[in-house]
Structure formats: structure tokens, C-alpha cells
Amino acid sequence: MESALKETIRQKASKSLGISPEDARISKSYLFVAFAALLLGGILGLLQGLNRAGLLELPSWLNYYQVLTAHGVLLVLVLTAFFTIGYFYAGLSHTLGGLLPKVRKMAWIGFSMKIIGFVFAVIPILMNEASVLYTFYPPMAAAPPFYIGLVLIVLGVWMCAFGAFINVANWRKNNRGKNIPIFSFFATGVFVLLFFGSIPVAIEVLTIIPWSFGWVDTINVMVSRTLFWAFGHTLVNIWYLTAISAWYVIVPKIIGGRRFSDTLTRIVVILLVVMNIPGGFHHQIIDPGISEEVKFLHVFMSLSIAFPSLMTAYAMFSVFERTGRRKGGKGLLGWYKKLPWGDVRFLAPMIAMISFIPAGAGGIVQSTNQLNQVVHNTLWIVGHFHLTVGTSVILTFFGISYWLVPYISKRTLTPKMNRLGVIQTIIWTVGMLFMAGSMHWVGLLGAPRRTSYTTYGENATALGWDPFMILIAIGGTLLIVGVILQVYAVFHLMFRAPKGDTEFPIADKEDDDTSTPYWTERWGQWIVLLLLLVAMGYVLPLVEFIIDAPPGSPPFKTW
């Protein structure tokens, strides 16, 4: 009780003081880059959609695969990384009583490293020397600066992860025996995953660099792909964990309710962090040379992530129902009418959650050996991740932006901007229904992903895909309208909206919530467990790939 009281007083104090200008500047810069990436990446996405529908021929100086590489890099690497860091740093500052000066410096060094790395990576992409797609697997080889840029980006992310660890450790030193505030608990989980999840890709890139320079002749493709997906699969769950931090902590406050059980929330975070990394082979289900047992193990681990997801679904709907009933909602479903559907800060993450239901089901389909054979490398996959990251995650980020950007800019969300946000959310949802829906369907009919417009010599099957491709182009056109509205909203909230104080909305626990056991704080143990599971998933296959190595591959330029 006493600690709850202190907590409230502290929150009140930091609420009235707001975020310090130094901390705000960090988050503002990160979010600015994130939304600039959305604008550029969105325009490129539209070009792809129109090209694949046969509606637009790209000029001779712009290659489809070059555009696709930039679209992937801008949206899944730049947008998500910069948003995640800007968001969590604002929340660390808010819940831990400000960032330490040292941590601020690290955030800026990290920022510069990522920007310099990005410039290094982008120049060869612009020169069509790095159209290797955002997955950059060997044997396709880009010009060396592309990989050097990636190394700098990873180091920049590590800088931010360590900054977060230092700030959290400092808080713990000053608050012995206490659970860290729930938002910072999520941040810790995300940065732990970011750090450990990006070690494999760092190793991969370090082995690619000498090969792309021509200092070594060949590379072990199986090892590279495996290291990539140990990272890629983790990255997906980093986005997911970031999104659910807002679902568990922020959304209940916005609807005027309380959080779901604090202990359960922390267990979900721990499970997602610990079980995550050894799932990467579900992206390589039809790769040759990997034993069935290992594939099975990884599929098991990936599906075990569905367990905390189901816990999340239960928790969220429980919060909605409780809150709706407290506000007078009657009957079996009457509570849903009491939810603030006209508030973009609720509507966007709510649609995000709902779209995660089919998105998650699609993920289970892909993790199933037999079904994977049907959808592998078809447009189904592209539909899947536009639903997961392009809708569940991004719509949550959009919803966050309507309070986070005013919060760090000391401005307010006006009813007019809120209305614009609601319209934006609806346009995005409809656009994605068209685009991702058609992609799923045409993927089942066999249309391949990552392929520019072709009719395969007027082949009848390929011609049958055309109507769906037109729907994809229509969806893409709606989405670009959504992108422009969203970027306008962020720009407006950052620089133009009326001055004033906006709250960082963190929901309280229920009054009758049980106290949280302190063992949830043992991050050292969770990390040991994480490493053990990583060893279980990866040591044997990697040793096998290296000892019984397939013939190495020279670099190829396929575009």
C-alpha cells in the first residue's frame, strides 16, 4: 500500500514536470526518422504494387529488386528499430525518473551510428549494387559498404540496448527489492532480445564482408541462412513484444480501466524473451540439409510462443469486458459498446489486436510442414507479414503516436487530429484487407513473391492471378493515402499542434491484484535460460553444417 502511494506521488511529480527537454529530443529524433522511413518505404511499396499489377513500368534506371530491397530495409529495419527505441526511451525516462546523462549520450552515439550505417547501406542500394533484398542471403552478394553499414546499424542498436540496461540497473540499485515499473520491464525484455537476437546476424555479416570483398572465395550458405533467421525470427517477436507492451500497459488506461494481473503480464514477457530465439528454422522448413528432428524442435518452439499469445488475447478481452461493465455495459456483449471506439488511441491498437487473430493463425499454417510446402515463397507470405507487422504492429505504433508525439513535443491531440487519426486507421484497415487478403489468396493459387511483373509467356495460370494483382494495387493505393495522413499527423503533432501537456498513459493495477513475486526480476537467470535454449536449438545443427559443410558458394549478382 505504502509503496503504491509513493508510486502515485512519484508519477504525479513526473507528470507535472513532464519529460525533460533532453530526453524528449532523443525520442523526437528517433520518431522523426521512423516516420520519414514510412513515407519513403510506402511510396516504394506502391510502385511495387502497381508494377506487379502490370499498371506501371519502372524506368530503366530503377530495378524492381532494388525498389523491393529499399522497401524492406526502410520498413522492417529502419521504421521498426527507430520507433521501438524512441518509444521505449521515452517510457524509460518517464517510469524511471529520467534518463541518466551517460545513457542519453549512448542513445545519441547509437543514433549517429545507425544513421551513418544507413547511409553506407543505402548508397550501394541506390547504385543498384545491393539489390539483395532485406534478407541479403548469400550467395547473392552486395557491394561491401552495404554490409559495413549493417554492422554499424547493429552496433548502434547495441549502444541503445546497453543504455537501457544501465538506466534500469541504476533504478534497481536505488530501489532495492522492488519490481521495476511494468513499462520498463517490457523495455528490458525487448532490449535483451534485441541484443542477443542480433548477435547471430552480426556474426553472419562479419563472415560475409571478406567474401564480398573477394578476400575469401566461398561462403557456407547454410550457416549464413541459419544465422540470418536466428535473428530474423527474433526480430519479428521484438516487434510483437513492443506492440503488446502498449496493449497491456497503455490501452487499459486509455479506455479508463486497469491493467490485467501484473504477475501474468511479467510472465508473458519472460516467456516471450526466453523461448524466442530457437524458432528460426520455421523459416527454413523446406531448406535441404537440415535434419527433421531439428526442424521439428524449432517448430515446437515457435508454436510454444502461441501460448503466451493466447494468454495475451485472454488478458486483453478480460480488461475490455471489465472496463465496459464498470461503465454500465449490460448483457453478454453490451460492454463493447462502452469502449471508446471514436478515440484513435484505442481504435488503432484494437484493430491491431483483432487482425492478430487471423495473422497468428496464418503463422501457425506456415509453421506446419505440409502446409508450408503450399505457401512457401508465394505471395501468401507477403500477405502474412503485411498483416502481422504491416497491421498488428504498425497500427499499434500509429495508435501510440497520437499520444507519444504530443507527449514528447509538449503539445496536445485536438479532436480534429483525433478524427483524422480515426479516418487514417479505417483507410489503413480497408487497404490492408484488400492488399493482404488478395496476397493470401493469390499465393494459394501459386503466384510467387519477390517477382516483378510477368505473364510467363501468357501462361493461363499466371493470367488467372491478374484480377488479384489489381486488388493488390487498389489496396496499395489506399495504403499510400494512409501513409500520407499518418505522416502528416505525426508532423503536425510534433511541430504544429497547440502547446500543452499530454500524459504518458500507464494504467494502474487492479486494487485486488495480488502482489508480484520478486523472482520475476531475476534477469540474470532468464538470460541463462535463454542461452541454454539457444544452445539447444542451434549448437548441433551449426556444428553439423560446418563439419559436413556443403561446397561453399562464390558471390553471385543475380540482378
57 vs 456: CA distance, rounded Å: 16
Beta strands in 459-515 (DSSP E): none
The entry of ligand HEM, Cu ion, none that residue 145 binds, CB within 5 to 8 Å by partner kind:
none
What DSSP line would sit under 37-106, residue for residue? HHHHHHHHHHHHHHHHTTS-PPPTTS-HHHHHHHHHIIIIIIIHHHHHHHHHHHHHHHHTTS--HHHHHH
Sole window of 285-293, 383-391, 419-427, 508-516 interacting with ligand HEM (rule: CB under 6 A)? 383-391
**Smallest gap, in angstroms, from Cβ of residue 510 to ligand HEM?**
34
Query: What are the phi and psi torsion angles at 175 (to 5°)?
Result: -135, 55
Site for ligand HEM in 24-53 (CB under 6 A): 42, 45-46, 48-49, 52
* C-alpha pair distances (Å), 134 with each of 146, 281, 332, 375: 11, 18, 47, 20
Cell numbers at residue 219, please?
561462403
Does residue 469 belong to the site contacting ligand HEM (CB under 6 A)? no
Distance between CA atoms of residues 520 and 508, nearest Å? 19
Residue 96 contacts ligand HEM per CB under 6 A: no
Q: Which of 26, 28, 31, 72 binds ligand HEM (CB under 6 A)?
A: 72
Is 144 near ligand HEM (CB under 6 A)?
Answer: no
Stretch that binds Cu ion, among 189-197, 228-236, 265-273, 514-522 (CB under 5 A): 228-236
CA distance linking residue 381 with residue 366, whole number of Å? 8
d(CA 164, CA 154): 15
Backbone conformation region of residue 56, classed left if phi is above 0, alpha if psi is from -120 to 50, else beta: beta
Report d(CA 556, CA 559) in Å as an integer.
9
CB-closest chain residue to ligand HEM? 45
Grid cell digits, residue 8: 502515485
Report the partner that residue 28 touches, choosing among ligand HEM, Cu ion, none (CB closer than 5 to 8 A by kind). Answer: none
For residues 117 to 156, the per-residue mask of contacts with Cu ion, x marking binding by CB under 5 A and - elsewhere, is ----------------------------------------
Residue 258 interacting partner from ligand HEM, Cu ion, none (CB closer than 5 to 8 Å by kind): none
Residue 105: CB minimum distance to ligand HEM, A: 30
Q: Which of 218, 237, 208, 230 is nearest to 137 (CA)?
A: 208
Q: Does residue 436 bind ligand HEM (CB under 6 A)?
A: no
Using CB under 6 A as the binding rule, whether residue 530 contacts ligand HEM is answered as no
Q: Is 421 exposed, middle or buried (0-12, 13-18, 19+ CB in 10 A)?
A: buried
Q: Does 351 participate in binding ligand HEM (rule CB under 6 A)?
A: no
Applying CB under 6 A, does 443 fall inside the site for ligand HEM? no
**Site residue total, ligand HEM (CB under 6 A):** 27
Which of ligand HEM, Cu ion, none has residue 233 at its interface (CB below 5 to 8 Å by kind)?
Cu ion
Q: Which stretch binds Cu ion (CB under 5 A): 85-93, 230-238, 316-324, 346-354?
A: 230-238
What type of residue is 400?
I
How many chain residues are in contact with Cu ion, going by CB under 5 A? 1
Q: State in Å, rounded, how far the first CA of the chain is from the last one.
A: 65
Q: How far is the CB of 230 from ligand HEM (least distance, A)?
A: 18
Q: How is residue 436 written as a grid cell?
A: 493482404
Instruction: Kindly state the smallest distance separating residue 237's Cβ from Cu ion, in Å.
Output: 8
Minimum separation from the CB atom of position 71 to ligand HEM (A)? 5
| Listed ranges 75-83, 226-234, 479-487, 492-500: which one lies at the site for Cu ion (CB under 5 A) | 226-234
What letter would DSSP give residue 535?
A: H
Q: Which residue is nearest to Cu ion (CB)?
A: 233
70 binds ligand HEM (CB under 6 A): no
To which residue does cell 528460426 refer? 280
Q: What 3-state DSSP class applies to 553?
A: strand
**Taking a C-beta distance cutoff of 8 angstroms, is the pair 273, 228 a contact?**
no
Per CB under 6 A, the list member of 451, 462, 466, 555 interacting with ligand HEM is 451
Note whether 449 binds ligand HEM by CB under 6 A: yes
| Site stretch for ligand HEM (CB under 6 A), options 149-157, 185-193, 299-307, 389-397 | 389-397
Q: Which does 189 bind (CB under 5 to 8 A by kind): Cu ion, ligand HEM, none?
A: none
Among 408, 501, 494, 497, residue whose Cα is nearest residue 23: 408
Among 52, 225, 233, 386, binds Cu ion (CB under 5 A): 233
Question: Which residues pair with residue 456 across a beta bridge?
Answer: none
**DSSP secondary structure letter of residue 290:** S
Could you list the residues that contact Cu ion (CB under 5 A)?
A: 233
Could you list the residues that contact ligand HEM (CB under 6 A)?
A: 42, 45-46, 48-49, 52, 68, 71-72, 75-76, 79, 133-134, 382, 385-386, 389-390, 394, 449-451, 476, 479-480, 483
